[in-house]
A and B are shown apart, each in its own frame.
Chain A
Amino acid sequence: MHGDETTGKDLRALQQKFKDGGISRRDFLAALGALGVSAATAQSHLARAAALAASPRRGGTAIFASNLHGPDDQLDPIVFTSGIDYTRGRACYNNLTQILDHLTLHPELAEEWSANRDATEFTFKIRKGVEFHDGAPLTADDVVWSMNRHLGPDSPSVIKAYFASVIEWRKLDRYTVRARLSAPDRDLPVKLGEKQAKIVKRGTTDFRKGIGTGPYVLESFEPGVRSLHRRNPNYWREGPNFDALVLTAITDPTARVNALIAGDVHLIASVNSRSVRLIKNTEGVHVNSTPSGRYGGICCLKNTPPGANDHFVRGMQYIQDRERIVRSILKGHGQVGNDHPISPAYGADHCTELPQRPYDPDQAKWHLQQAGISSAELFVAPVAAGIVETCLLMQANLKKIGFDLAIRQVPTDGYWGAVWMKEPMNVVSWNMRPTANAMLAIQFAPGAAWNDTYWNNPRFGELLRMQLAETDPARRYGMLCEMQRLVHEGSGMVIPYHLNILDGVSDRIHGIPVVPLGATGAHEWVEFAWMSE
C-alpha cells in the first residue's frame, strides 16, 4: 500500500461506483470502513457521492475499444457473437425486453406482456410511436419478422436453442404480437432481452446500414476498423446522453490499456487482470470489476476415453488449485468455481448447499490411479481469460503426482469448428446467460447442440423442463439446486473459476449499469452512461 495516495484513489473509485449505482449505500459505508475511514467521515463521503450522482450531462463523443474485431464484424443481430457486435447492436437496435441492473427485467419495445396459465402462450403489447432510423414506424409486423428469424432448423440464429419451444410468432393487431410455444417456458421474456434478440425492420436484407429503433443512428461502419454513431434525435425515450459514439477494438491487451491511460479512448473491454493494478495506480481512469457467471473450463468428453471414466474426470477436478488460480492468475478478479456453471452471480439461482470441491492432489492421484490413466492430451486456445495459465498450472501440478498432461496450444480462429466438441479434452469459455435454466439447458440438456461434454442425463433433462413450468419459487430453487449437483457430480466439465468482467473506464464516464451478462454493463452503457466535463 502506498498510504494516502492509494486510499484516496480507492475512495474516488468507490464514490464513483456508488453514484453509478454499482453498490448499495450499506456496501459503500462498509467499504469505506474497510479503507479505515471513520464513520463520520464516511457519512460525508456518502453525501458527496450522492451529490455527484446528479442528472446525466448531455454531450461528448465516447470512444469505446473492445477486444476483438475484424472483417467479420456485422450488424445482423441474429449472428452476433462478439462484444463489438453486441455494442453496435445496442446502439442501433432495441429488444422487446431489457435486462438491467442486477439482472432485473424491464420493458423495452414491449410495453407489457402476459402469459397464459401454463406459460405456453405469451402476448406482447408493442410500444406505439416508435420510429426506425429511416422514419418508418415500428409495428407488430417488424416484431414478428424479426423474431421468426430465430425459428426453424434452417435459421442461422446463434440463439435459436433458446426458442426451440417456440412454434411461431403471430401478429394479433398492429401493436400486439403473440408467441405460441410447444412447451412451457416461464423464462421466455428474459430470453427476449438477449443481445441477439434485436428488433429489425421487416424484410431487411442488407444489415450494413444498421437501421433500427435504437438510441444512435449509424453514420459509418467499416468492419474491423470502426463505426461512428450519432444521437438519434427521435429516440422514443429520454436520452441517450452522448452526441456521438466511436466503436472500435484494440486487439492487443497491453495496447488497449495503454490507449485508455493515454486518453485515446474512454472505455475498454476485457482488461487483463494483470493490468488492473496499473490502471488503479493511474489518475483519471479506473477499473470496474463485476462478478459474473462467465467462466473458462476444461471439457472432458464423456463419450470417449479418457473422459468416459468418471475417476479420470474427478482427478482432473481435484487437481485444480482453484484458490491459487483466483489469487495469482486472476489477481482476485474472479471466483472459485465448483464444476457447474451457476456462479453466485446468478443470485438466488446459485445453489448454496453444494460443498466446494477443494484442491486435493492426494484425492486426484487416487482417482487417476483408479482410472488407470497416466497421461492425456489437452487442446488449449486462449478462449477465456486465464484458461491457458490454468492449464499450465494444472499440468505442473499433475506432473507432481506423476501424471503427464500434454498441452497442445492451437489458435483461437477455427477453434470452435475444429477442436471444441471434437478433441477428447479441450477448453471452453461460456458467457453468463440471463437465467440459470438457460445456461444449464444450452450446455447440458441431453442432446443439446452445444452439450460439449456429451453428458446425457435423463433426470437432468426432465428437471430442465419441469423448472420452466414450475411457479413455486422454493420448488424452482430446489430443482435448480438438484441440476447443479448433477452437473457437479456427473458431467465431464471442470470449472475451476468464474471470471469477473473487467472494464477499464475513464473517470469522465458515469452511469454504467451493473449487468454481469457482458462487458461494460452488458453493453448497456451505450444508452445510459454519460460524460462529465
Chain B
Amino acid sequence: MLIRAVLHRIATGLVTLVVVSVLIFLGTSVLPGDVASIILGQMATPESLAALRSTLGLDQPAYLRYFMWLGDLLSGDLGISKAGSGAGTGGTPISEMIAPRLANTVHLAGAVALIAVPLSLGLGLAAAARAGTRLDRSITLTTLGLVSVPEFLVATALVLVVAVYLGWLPATAYVSGTETGTALLKALALPTLTLVVVASSQIIRMTRASVLNVMSSPYIEMAVLKGLPRRRIVLRHALPNAVGPIVNVIALNLAYLVSGVVIVETIFAYPGLAKLMVDAVQTRDLPLVQACAMIFCSAYIVLVFIADLASILSNPRLRYPR
C-alpha cells in the first residue's frame, strides 16, 4: 500500500512537471521584445534588429521551438544562451552558466536551513510547551513582527549596522569571487542571517500551531490526566504526530530559499539562481528563463514530494491515495 501511495505521488509529480513545462513555454512567449532588441537596447533600428535576429536564429515558429526545447531538456541539454557572444556566433551552454549559480544557491539555502530549522523547531516547541505564557507570547509577537517586515528592509538594516557602521562583515557576498575559508564564511554571514530571520518566523508559527493542534486531541488529554510531564508529552507524543504540517512548511521554505530570494541576492550582489532568472527575463534570454524556471518548479515539486513522503510515513491514514 505504501509503495502504491509513493508511486501515485511520483506520477502526479511528473504530470505536474509536464504542465509546468507548457506553462513556462507559453509564459515566456508573451514577453514583449526578444534578446536581439534587448542587446541593441536604445541603439536598435529595424535593420540592425533583423540582422541580429537572423544571426541568433530567433525566427522559427513557437511550437517547433517548444518540442525542440522539450526534447533537448529530456536529453539533459538545457540549450545555449546568447550570453557573452554579442553579434558573434558563439554562445554559452546554459548548464555551464547555471551550475556555479546553482551551487551558490544551494550553499546559501543549506546554510540558512542548517540554522533556521533547528532554531525554529526549538522556539516553536518552546512556545507550544508553554502556550499562553509570557515566553509564548513574546515568541509569537516577535515572529509576527518579523514576518511583516519587507525582506529588503531587514537586509539593508543589517548591512548598515554590521557592515557599514561596525565594519565587522563585508556588505556584499562573494563580490570578487576569490574568497575562501573564513573570508567566504564572513561573506555569507549577512545574507544567511537575513534569510534565517525570514524563514524562521513561519516555521516557528507552524510548529507551535501544529503541536498545539495535536495537544488538544483526546489521547494527549489522557496523557495529561495520567500526570506525564508536559515537556515529555510535547516531545514524545505531540511532536511525532505533528510532523506532517511542519515538514511541509519546511519544504515550502526550502523551495522559497532556492527560487524566491532574488531580493537578498540583489542586495548582497550574490550570484545565485534567482537573480540569474530575473536578469534573464530582463534581457529576454528565453532559453535561460525556461531553464531556470524548470529548475525552480522541479525543486518545489521534489521538496513537496519529500515532505509528502514524510507525512505518509508519519501518518498511516494518508497511505491510501484518494
Q: Counting chain A CB atoms within 10 Å of each CB, which of B32, B43, B82 scores highest?
A: B43
Q: Hey, which chain A residues are within 8 Å of B51, CB to CB?
A: 153-156
With A71-B280, A223-B97 in contact, is A262–B44 under 8 Å at CB?
no
Which listed residue (B160, B163, B271) contacts A224, Cβ 8 A?
Answer: B271
Known: A207-B88, A264-B175. A73 touches B32 (CB 8 A): no
A96 within 8 A of B: no
* B172 close to A264 (CB less than 8 A): yes
Judge whether A252 and B86 touch: CB under 8 Å: no
Q: Chain B residues with Cβ under 8 A from A254's Cβ?
A: 156, 267
The answer to whether A206 and B87 touch across the interface, beta carbons within 8 angstroms, is no
Asked if B266 contacts A224 (CB within 8 A), the reply is no
Distance between A73 CB and nearest chain B CB, rounded to angstroms? 7
Q: Is B89's beta carbon under 8 Å from chain A?
A: yes
Task: Evaluate contact between A156 and B52: CB separation under 8 angstroms.
Answer: yes
Residue B170 at the chain A interface, CB threshold 8 Å: yes
Binds A, one of B244-252, B283-291, B310-318: B283-291
Q: Does B39 contact A (CB under 8 A)?
A: yes
- Inter-chain contact A417/B276, CB cutoff 8 Å: no
Given contacts A74-B85, A79-B86, A246-B176, contact A262 B164 (CB under 8 A): yes
B42 contacts A420, C-beta separation under 8 Å: yes
Does any Cβ of A come within 8 Å of B213's Cβ? no
Contacts of A208 in B (CB 8 A): 84-85, 88, 90, 92
CA distance A258 to B101 in the complex (A): 23
Interface size class of B (residues with CB under 8 A): 35 or more
B171 touches A414 (CB 8 A): no
Given A79-B39, A208-B92, A224-B279, CB of A74 within 8 Å of CB of B48 = no
When chains A and B are docked, how far (Å) is the Cα of A411 from the Cα of B44?
A: 18
In the bound complex, do residue A225 and residue B171 qualify as a contact, i.e. CB atoms below 8 Å apart?
A: no
Q: Are B33 and A414 in contact (CB under 8 A)?
A: yes
Determine whether the beta carbon of B48 is less than 8 Å from that of A72.
no
Q: Name the B residues within 8 Å of A80 (CB-CB).
A: 86
**A46 contacts the other chain (Cβ, under 8 Å)?**
no
* In-complex Cβ contact of B269 among A72, A255, A411, A413 (8 A): A255
Q: Which residues of A contact B171 (CB under 8 A)?
A: 255, 258-259, 261-262, 264
Kindly list chain B residues whose C-beta atoms are within 8 Å of the C-beta of A77.
86
Q: Are B84 and A207 in contact (CB under 8 A)?
A: yes
Across the two chains, which residue of chain A brings its CB closest to B88? A207
Residues of the A chain whose Cβ atoms lie less than 8 Å from the Cβ of B281: 413
Decide: A262 and B89 in contact? CB cutoff 8 A: no
Instruction: Give bound CA distance, A228 to B176, whole Å.
Output: 9
Tell me the nearest residue of chain B to A210, going by C-beta: B84
Total A residues in contact with B, Cβ cutoff 8 Å: 62
Q: Are B90 and A81 in contact (CB under 8 A)?
A: no
Q: How far is the CA of A70 from the CA of B38 in the complex (A)?
A: 11
The answer for the CA separation of A159 and B45 in the assembled complex, in Å, is 11
Q: Which residues of A contact B177 (CB under 8 A)?
A: 225-226, 228, 246
- Of B178, B269, B283, the contact of A71 (CB 8 Å cutoff): B283
CA distance in complex: A13, B288 (Å): 45
A75 within 8 A of B: yes
Cβ < 8 Å to B, chain A residues 408-460? 411-414, 416-418, 420, 428, 449-450
Bound complex: CA A430 to CA B171 (Å): 32
Which residue in chain B gives the minimum CB-CB distance to A255? Answer: B267
Besides A71-B276, A207-B85, A262-B171, 12 new A-B residue pairs in contact (Cβ under 8 A), listed by A number? A73-B84, A155-B51, A208-B88, A208-B92, A228-B177, A246-B175, A251-B269, A255-B172, A258-B172, A262-B169, A417-B44, A450-B42
Q: List 22 A-B contacts (CB under 8 A).
A: A63-B175, A71-B283, A74-B84, A75-B84, A76-B86, A79-B39, A79-B40, A79-B86, A156-B48, A206-B88, A208-B90, A252-B266, A254-B156, A255-B172, A262-B159, A264-B170, A265-B172, A413-B283, A413-B284, A414-B32, A414-B37, A420-B42
- Residues on A lying within 8 angstroms of B by beta carbon are 61, 63, 65, 69-81, 153-160, 204-208, 221-226, 228, 246, 248-252, 254-255, 258-259, 261-265, 411-414, 416-418, 420, 428, 449-450
The 6 closest A-B pairs by CB, nearest first: A76-B86, A206-B90, A158-B43, A70-B279, A413-B282, A262-B171
